[in-house]
Amino acid sequence: MSQGLPVTSYALLGLLSFGDDLTGYELKQRADRTLRFYWVAPAMSQVYSELRRLTAAGLVEATGDAASTRYRISGQGRVELRDWMQGQPAGFPSLKHPVALKLLMSHMVEDSATIQMLEEYLTTLRANLADLREVRRSLVGRDAPGEAFHKPALVAEWGLAYYRSEQRIARRTLALLRQSFT
Amino acid sequence: MSQGLPVTSYALLGLLSFGDDLTGYELKQRADRTLRFYWVAPAMSQVYSELRRLTAAGLVEATGDAASTRYRISGQGRVELRDWMQGQPAGFPSLKHPVALKLLMSHMVEDSATIQMLEEYLTTLRANLADLREVRRSLVGRDAPGEAFHKPALVAEWGLAYYRSEQRIARRTLALLRQSFT
DNA sequence: ACAGCCATGTAACTCGTTACATGATTAC
DNA sequence: GTAATCATGTAACGAGTTACATGGCTGT
């Protein structure tokens, strides 16, 4: 039953599938640490409303008082999550890349502005890369095949590969622009 | 004036900044050919509503009858687009990667299911790569520095680099899973 | 005492999607 | 003549954001 929850709902349910029970606040923190790199960083208010939805559907169970509620995935939640994973195909990633977007129409501005944009992108890229490296590091020791964080480690590696690829292509594009910008 | 249009609005305005005037229908086709790889493929209905918004703001001009209207960017539109490009920083890309998402919680299912998911991803990746290569090919001859499609060509290269990186990491992950899957 | 974090929520709004609906033109 | 494509729109809805609001708890 309860077919067709939004993907973000399953994503949060997935974050609860590692065994521990969390408050909405803690769940948001976990999302910021992991989900944000390849899905979204949902707003605080959305975390709470999704948790209400999941509770209503019986996929998570709430314990504690109104001032501090802990949520844990239910048996039915595990079943539903499994079904969703194996049901529909994953679907193709969708990218919102404002840097590429502005580059596309960069004939409207001076090359120096585009060069500056790419430099700024490389800076924020470095920062994100550092964050993700830190996440990856925190999994060392529990990341062997079969261990609890094997799959999260694979995802972190995936993200690192993505960021490194972005670094390469941004640098290459920057070099090309600087070359023709006399 | 008219500060703070949604980015998709500027994106469509940008597609109109290459000099030709298009119908809503044609604009949608152009978006499907270019924008979709690194921004979005807006629904037909949204293309029309954005065009109405842009017209109301004086950034595009409409000509023709109600049965077939052509839109062209206005002088003010060019100014506004330039301002937007140079104004706020581009912002960091946001990725919605359902494959990575499912991989994260793949401890919930058998490895064989995850392996199958990655194989399917590689298939659709191949198809998208072919599409984008076709786009890149169509720009050959007008893609030198200073020429009309230099920047679009750079963006296409960027996209190709991204897809190739995805291919590499997907294959690597697949290999790791197959290895530990006895 | 006060700052900062923990913790939870409501309300308004907008972007973007899907479904629905219509009709003209072109190709076979 | 009929199917596909061109062309334009409306209506309903849902996901997700921002702004607002409240209050407890902890460290200095």
Q: For residue B15, give the chain A residue with the closest CA.
A: A105
Q: Which residues are CB-neighbours of A32 under 8 A, at least 6 positions away?
A: A41
B154 and A173: CB-CB below 8 Å? yes
Using the CB atom, is residue B64 less than 7 Å from strand C? no
Q: What's the pLDDT at A66?
A: 81
Q: B17, A107: Cβ pair inside 8 Å?
A: yes
Helix (H) / strand (E) containing B69: strand B68-73
The ranges of chain A with pLDDT < 70 are: 1-3, 181-182
Residue B103 is which amino acid? L
**Mean of the per-residue pLDDT values for chain B?**
95
Contact between B104 and A34 using a beta-carbon 8 Å cutoff: yes
* Chain B residue at shortest CA distance from A147: B107
Nearest nt to the CA of B22 via C1' is: D7
CA A24 to chain B, closest CA, distance in angstroms equals 19
Distance in angstroms (rounded) separating the CA atoms of residues A92 and A89: 9
Query: B85 and A96 in contact by Cβ < 8 A?
Result: no
The nt closest to B66 (CA vs C1′) is: D8
Residues 49-68 of A with CB under 7 A from strand D: 67
| Inter-residue contact B109 to A86 (CB < 8 Å) | yes
Report whether A139 contacts A132 (CB < 8 A).
no
Q: Pairing between strand B60-65 and A70-73?
A: unpaired
- Mean pLDDT within B161-178: 98
Position A2 scores a pLDDT of 44
Task: Give phi and psi for A50, each to the nearest 5.
Answer: -65, -40
- Report which of residues 62-91 in chain B place their beta carbon less than 7 angstroms from any atom of strand D: 64, 66-69
SS3 label, residue B98: helix
Give the one of A89, A145, A146 whose C-beta lies nearest to B120's C-beta.
A89
Which residue is it, tokens 């209400």?
A52
Q: Which of B96, B120, B159 is opposite residue A40, by nearest beta carbon?
A: B96
More confident of the two residues A168 and B1: A168
The pLDDT tens digits for B84-132 are 999 889 999 999 999 999 999 999 999 999 999 999 999 999 999 999 9
Tell me: pLDDT of B182 over 70: no
pLDDT at B1: 45
Judge if the beta carbon of B77 is closer than 7 A to nucleic acid strand C. Answer: no
Distances (CA, A) of A81 to A2, A26, A146, B102: 11, 21, 20, 10
Q: Decide: residue A113, CB within 10 A, 0-12 exposed, 13-18 middle, 19+ buried.
A: middle
Dig out the tokens for B22 from the structure. Answer: 């298009």
A94: nearest Cα among B128, B151, B157, B104: B128
Query: pTM of the predicted model, to two decimals?
Result: 0.94
pLDDT in tens, B48-72: 999 999 999 999 999 998 889 999 9
Nearest C-alpha in A relative to B165: A165
> Can you tell me the distance from the alpha carbon of B157 to that of B130, in angstroms, rounded to the nearest whole number?
13
Distance separating alpha carbons of residues B30 and B152, to the nearest angstrom: 12
Residues in CB range of A154: below 8 A, 6 or more apart = B103, B173, B176, B177
Angle at which helices A111-139 and A150-180 cross, to 10°: 160
Q: Which two tokens stand for residue B81?
A: 């687009």
DSSP assignment of A69-127: -EEEE-HHHHHHHHHHHHSS-----EEE-HHHHHHHTGGGS-HHHHHHHHHHHHHHHHH
- Protein residue closest via CA to C1' of D24: A67
User: Which residue in the set B95, B96, B100 is minimally distant from A155, CB to CB?
Assistant: B100
Q: Do B103 and A158 touch (CB under 8 A)?
A: yes
In strand D, which positions have an atom below 7 A from any protein CB?
6-11, 14-20, 24
Biggest alpha carbon distance in chain A? 66
Q: What type of residue sits at position A67?
A: A
